[in-house]
């Protein structure tokens, strides 16, 4: 346990500052003054458009030195690199790779009060974690793809034994700590791959199968990625922890978010051995930026994950307790109908922040 923790904050673009601001208010309401010290650093598409640089080296250094990193969202139209990719994504990707944040934990939970896009799903009927490998896979090609004679474009997918082993182990550990799948209470890890067609995914599955033997108390199963995307719609209650390659995790976690009220409800934690980046799954939504109507729940829940991660890491009960209280306040606010427009309600970002802060002060 430390007296206080340095949190590097990168607001980013679009609704980033709005949701990030809300989360900081909530964190401050949940903890005594001084436990968290926030310092802001620039990065993102806006910074790129203004300065030609998406991610200043000073920001990278500060993030690496901080106890944890809080990020809103990044990306704006027009902020594009010469190779056609976006400058807004540099922050996330450079930090993931630079700080080796190999585990991207994306909890998918349908809260009471929130309507699912799926028919016939009750609250509690969806409650699983997508554990996305965050340091290799198809994303290893970021910045390294080639375009030959302007005619042939190549990106390379790389999966390593070490990379697969550590993410699969983490999946089983998460399952062990969980309550199991909603449908049957079974603690279960599903390996999602494309082993039937591609060698690197067959390798992912083979490594998974070997690690699974270390966890005989947890059910292990396979799903091909195409079938998986169907199952997440047809029988989400079956899942507990899903572990998958970077690109597949990216796709499946957005799909999954659609079943629990949308990206605004989807928190995310990206952690490695010694650093953690906490940002919601959603993007910068420039179309609604500045209107005060962004859904801050995903960001607030990401902030709660940050407290959990810091709390476990530093054995600090204050943080674990605050995380639990933020989650409870969130559950209550949603169940009471405090819903933003994306959830078919009319609550503003301010209203959500206030209801959470009031609950935490009580």
Ligand X SMILES: CC(C)[C@H](C(=O)O)[C@@H](O)C(=O)O
Number of residues that bind ligand X (CB under 6 A): 7
Q: Is 250 in the site for ligand X (CB under 6 A)?
A: yes
- Give residue 271's Cα distance to chain centre: 10
Q: Is 93 in the site for ligand X (CB under 6 A)?
A: yes
Q: How far apart are CA 263 and CA 342, in angstroms?
A: 9
Active site residue 254: yes
Question: Taking CB within 5 to 8 Å according to partner kind, which of ligand X, a copy of itself, none is near residue 331?
Answer: none
Find the shortest distance in angstroms from Cβ 7 to a copy of itself.
Answer: 27
Active site residue 342: no
Answer yes or no: are the C-beta atoms of 278 and 306 closer than 8 Å.
Answer: yes
Q: Is 103 in the site for ligand X (CB under 6 A)?
A: no
Question: Taking CB within 5 to 8 Å according to partner kind, which of ligand X, a copy of itself, none is near residue 315?
Answer: none
Contacts of 47 (CB under 8 A, 6+ apart): 53, 54, 55, 56
92 or 135, CB closer to ligand X? 92
Active site residue 226: yes
Contacts of 313 (CB under 8 A, 6+ apart): none
Backbone angles phi, psi at 124, to 5 degrees: 90, -15
Q: How far apart are CA 218 and CA 241, in angstroms?
A: 10
Q: Is 242 in the site for ligand X (CB under 6 A)?
A: no
Q: Are strands 241-244 and 127-133 parallel, antiparallel or unpaired?
A: parallel
Pick from 97, 115, 220: nearest CA to 158:
97
Among 197, 206, 230, 335, binds ligand X (CB under 6 A): 197
Answer yes or no: are the C-beta atoms of 313 and 272 closer than 8 Å.
Answer: no
Q: How far apart are CA 135 and CA 158, in angstroms?
A: 10
58 or 197, CB closer to ligand X? 197
Question: Taking CB within 5 to 8 Å according to partner kind, which of a copy of itself, ligand X, none is near residue 324?
Answer: none
Cα→Cα distances 237→122, 164, 185, 232, 300, Å: 10, 26, 10, 8, 25
Find the shortest distance in angstroms from Cβ 106 to ligand X.
Answer: 8
Q: Is 245 in the site for ligand X (CB under 6 A)?
A: no
Answer yes or no: are the C-beta atoms of 129 and 107 closer than 8 Å.
Answer: yes
39 or 197, CB closer to a copy of itself? 197
Q: Is 308 in the site for ligand X (CB under 6 A)?
A: no
Question: Taking CB within 5 to 8 Å according to partner kind, which of ligand X, a copy of itself, none is near residue 351?
Answer: none
251 or 288, CB closer to a copy of itself? 251
Among 226, 233, 314, 358, binds ligand X (CB under 6 A): 226
Considering only the stretches 88-96, 149-157, 169-177, 342-350, report the one whose residues sit in contact with ligand X under the rule CB under 6 A: 88-96
Q: How far apart are CA 346 and CA 131, in angstroms?
A: 32
Among 20, 24, 35, 89, binds ligand X (CB under 6 A): 89
Answer yes or no: are the C-beta atoms of 95 and 63 closer than 8 Å.
Answer: yes
Question: Taking CB within 5 to 8 Å according to partner kind, which of a copy of itself, ligand X, none is near residue 112?
Answer: none
Judged by the rule CB under 6 A, the positions of this chain that interact with ligand X are 89, 92-93, 197, 226, 250, 281
Q: Which residues are catalytic?
A: 139, 194, 226, 250, 254
């Amino acid at each position: 346990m430390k007296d206080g923790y340095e949190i590097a904050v990168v607001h980013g673009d679009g609704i980033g500052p709005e949701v990030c601001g809300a989360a900081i208010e909530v964190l401050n309401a949940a903890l005594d003054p001084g436990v968290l010290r926030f310092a802001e650093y620039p990065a993102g598409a806006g910074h790129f458009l203004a300065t030609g640089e998406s991610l200043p080296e000073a920001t990278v250094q500060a993030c690496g030195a901080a106890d944890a990193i809080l990020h809103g969202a990044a990306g704006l139209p027009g902020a594009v690199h010469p190779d056609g990719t976006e400058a807004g994504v540099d922050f996330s990707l450079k930090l993931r790779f630079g700080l080796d944040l190999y585990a991207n934990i994306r909890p998918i939970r349908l809260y009471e009060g929130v309507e699912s896009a799926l028919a016939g799903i009750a609250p509690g009927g969806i409650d699983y974690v997508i554990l996305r490998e965050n340091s290799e896979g198809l994303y290893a090609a970021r910045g390294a793809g080639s375009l030959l004679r302007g005619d042939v474009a190549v990106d390379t997918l790389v999966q390593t034994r070490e990379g697969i082993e550590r993410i699969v182990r983490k999946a089983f550990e998460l399952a062990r700590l969980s309550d199991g799948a909603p449908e049957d209470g079974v603690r279960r890890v599903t390996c999602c791959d494309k082993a039937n067609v591609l060698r690197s995914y067959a390798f992912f599955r083979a490594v998974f199968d070997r690690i699974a033997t270390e966890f005989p108390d947890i059910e292990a199963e396979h799903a091909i990625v195409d079938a998986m995307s169907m199952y997440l719609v047809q029988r989400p209650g079956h899942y507990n922890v899903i572990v998958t390659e970077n690109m597949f995790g990216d796709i499946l976690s957005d799909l999954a978010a659609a079943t629990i009220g949308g990206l605004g409800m989807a928190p995310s934690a990206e952690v490695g051995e010694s650093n953690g980046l906490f940002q919601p799954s959603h993007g910068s939504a420039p179309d609604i930026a500045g209107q005060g109507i962004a859904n801050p729940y995903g960001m607030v829940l990401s902030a709660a994950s940050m407290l959990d991660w810091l709390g476990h890491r530093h054995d600090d009960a204050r943080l674990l307790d605050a995380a639990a209280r933020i989650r409870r306040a969130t559950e209550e606010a949603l169940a009471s109908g405090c819903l933003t427009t994306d959830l078919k309600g009319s609550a503003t970002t301010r209203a959500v922040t206030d209801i959470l802060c009031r609950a935490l002060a009580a």
